[in-house]
Structure 1
Amino acid sequence: MAKLKVAAIQATTVPFDAAAATARTVALLGEAAAKGVQLAVFPEAFIGGYPKGLDFGCAIGRRTPEGREDFARYVRGSISIPGPEVEQLITACAEHDIHAVVGIIERDGGTLYCTALYLAPGRLLGIHRKLMPTGSERLVWGFGDASTLTVVDTPYGKLGGAICWEHYMPLMRAAYYAKGVQLWAAPTADDRETWVATMRHIAMEGRCFVIGACQVMRRSDFPADYASRIEAGADEWMMHGRSVIVGPLGEILAGPLLDEEGILTADIDTDDILGATLDFDAVGHYSRPDLFTLHVDERPQTPVAFGGKPVASGTGS
């Protein structure tokens, strides 16, 4: 068990520009480290962009040339694993002696994935590909599989988590709890008030610390020709944030932060998890294995590689 300072990074990114978004991430890692942060969580799709309001010219039985160009721009702004942007992040974590979880749009062949990178000083610990893109996200993102239900060992405890509405998948949460996750990273694009309740529920259910990070974006932060179906003035917010950090009994430790950039921090002690399990342990005395079982097929369905080696399981070290 360990004491550490964690951070939820609520910031504006540069959509469709991998180089600029990576540079922004590197700078924010430095800012977080200067505050004494040892683990920083960035929002969903921070590198690559979350295409809020785009329909990519799609309707049932119809695609448009303009929508294909929107998708081509999205592909051009994504990154690959391994790749130079990932190396820059690894180097930055080494320079600042910090662990990080960074939401990216990953390109693998002709398919994009909404992915979270698990980074340690000097190395990539593992990745998680979003299992179930929500709604129209399925137009542009592939489906991950259980081979990247990643929980990694860090000096501070076991680190894992989910992306956005994966948090509403009960069996997926149970699979993560069974891996002993203590530090739960929650990159998201959900900026509604109800999301805070979700973060508090998972902290209590999993008896873990939850670090939820969401972007803030104005209409003017997107390209001028951004064909959003959401009407907004240049200075209006299209993504509001509401990043939050929650303790293992559901107590809010920092945030939620609304309509502004900021680095939320909290000093935590993972030893607090021990007392929190007195009356509830989702995969222990409360699991009733005599009544319920859960099988997770962690065989890779979509090959993933980083550092020249395939990811063969959902656990890294």
Structure 2
Amino acid sequence: MPATTVAVVQTGSVPFDPAATATRVAGLIGDCAARGAKLAVFPEALLGTYPKGLRFGAPVGTRTEEGRAEFARYFAGAVDLDGPELAQIAEASAAHGVFTVLGIIERSGGTLYCTAVHIDPAAGIVGTHRKLMPTGSERLIWGFGDGSTLTVNDTGFGKLGSVICWENYMPLLRQAMYAQGVELYCAPTVDDRDTWQHTMSHIALEGRCFVLSAAQAIRADAYGDDYASALEPDEAGYLIRGGSVILDPAGQALAGPVYDEEAILTAEVDVAQRPGRTFDFDPAGHYARPDVFRLSVDTRPKPSVVFEG
């Protein structure tokens, strides 16, 4: 298998405007293709907005009417899997021949999910992963995914899976991905701390895989004057400052990290390099001890209501 150019896109939403964000993403897919990329990885919650710093009027024991209105606005800016925004992005993926991984806020019934969507240029949406464990106050606004969306797809240039933001701190989830043979480990995120880089390097080494982490870079003023963030931007004006990176199976950075700017990072990857690394460490193979440890993964969907008969 020849080496393939891959891209990680560091950008931000057009907050609360999914149509405008979809147009931005479609254009950036074209920019990735112009750089020779066959894969483009976008950040967490890009299509649908990451509401950094919002409180949603939810002190313990009550919800304010202002907070309900804030959530209603957020809900209206989310997207449906079969909606026009993802259709537009799938068209761009097909037109440019770029496999796309995109973080979205998925609307399903009355609930929102933080989801990573896998879009094949020939087949459209071939995988979705709903964040299993929203972090902290994210649990107020997002539902929980289940094991049915631990998707690994064969792109033709490597097996690809997505693990979102702080899910990457869940050892058993990482092991479930390694056991599926993930070679292109995508980590859409909004974690812009310096310590995130240690986590990504560790995963590349632990999984003996390429790691592609796409973080949002968005200025505070992009959210508008009426945005009631409890957080202040950094000195450059960014509310989320980026930190996107591409690493090889030895944990070495091939591109990035980049901060306080929008950017497209590219690198050449060749999954044929992996056996040279799994030679002395395969976390789901010869370095496992199934006689001592065993992981059971329930991949059945868990709908709240099942209609039978």
Query: Is TM more than 0.5 here?
Result: yes
1:66 deviation in Å?
Answer: 1.0
1:17-36 aligned within 5 A: 17-36=17-36
1:62 deviation in Å?
Answer: 1.4
Matched, 1:300 2:301: yes
Q: Which residue of 2 aligns with 1:140?
A: 141
Please state whether the residue corresponding to 1:69 is helix, strand or coil: helix
Please state whether the residue corresponding to 2:177 is helix, strand or coil: helix
Q: Which residue of 2 aligns with 1:74?
A: 74
Identity of matched residues, %: 56
Are 1:56 and 1:71, in contact at CA under 8 Å, matched by a contact in 2? yes
1:28 deviation in Å?
Answer: 0.5
CA distance in 2, matches of 1:249, 1:194: 18
1:176-215 aligned within 5 A: 176-215=177-216
Please state whether the residue corresponding to 1:172 is helix, strand or coil: helix
Q: Which residue of 1 aligns with 2:44?
A: 44
RMSD: 1.3
Q: Which residue of 2 aligns with 1:6?
A: 6
1:234 deviation in Å?
Answer: 10
CA distance in 2, matches of 1:33, 1:302: 38
Are 1:245 and 1:266, in contact at CA under 8 Å, matched by a contact in 2? yes
CA distance in 1, matches of 2:297, 2:278: 24
CA distance in 2, matches of 1:159, 1:231: 36
Q: Counterpart of 2:247 in structure 1: which amino acid?
A: V
1:83-102 aligned within 5 A: 83-102=83-102
Change (3 A) 1:84 1:202: same
Q: Counterpart of 1:261 in structure 2: which amino acid?
A: E
Matched, 1:284 2:264: no
Cα displacement string for residues 108-142 of structure 1 (whole angstroms, at most 9, x for unaligned residues): 00000000000111411110000000000000000
1:12 deviation in Å?
Answer: 2.4
CA distance in 1, matches of 2:197, 2:162: 16
Cα displacement string for residues 193-213 of structure 1 (whole angstroms, at most 9, x for unaligned residues): 000111110011011000000
Cα displacement string for residues 81-107 of structure 1 (whole angstroms, at most 9, x for unaligned residues): 111111111111110000010000000
CA distance in 1, matches of 2:143, 2:249: 32
CA distance in 2, matches of 1:129, 1:15: 21
Are 1:145 and 1:302, in contact at CA under 8 Å, matched by a contact in 2? no
Please state whether the residue corresponding to 1:187 is helix, strand or coil: coil
Change (3 A) 1:19 1:282: same
CA distance in 1, matches of 2:226, 2:151: 37
CA distance in 2, matches of 1:294, 1:2: 34
1:232 deviation in Å?
Answer: 4.0
Q: Counterpart of 2:196 in structure 1: which amino acid?
A: W
Are 2:116 and 2:162, in contact at CA under 8 Å, matched by a contact in 1? no
Matched, 1:243 2:247: no
Q: Which residue of 1 aligns with 2:161?
A: 160
CA distance in 2, matches of 1:71, 1:97: 36
TM-score (norm 1): 0.93
CA distance in 2, matches of 1:16, 1:202: 32
CA distance in 1, matches of 2:238, 2:97: 33
Q: Which residue of 1 aligns with 2:16?
A: 16
Q: Counterpart of 2:37 in structure 1: which amino acid?
A: V
Q: Which residue of 2 aligns with 1:308?
A: none
TM-score (norm 2): 0.96
The answer for unaligned runs of 5 or more in structure 2 is 305-309
CA distance in 1, matches of 2:159, 2:285: 17
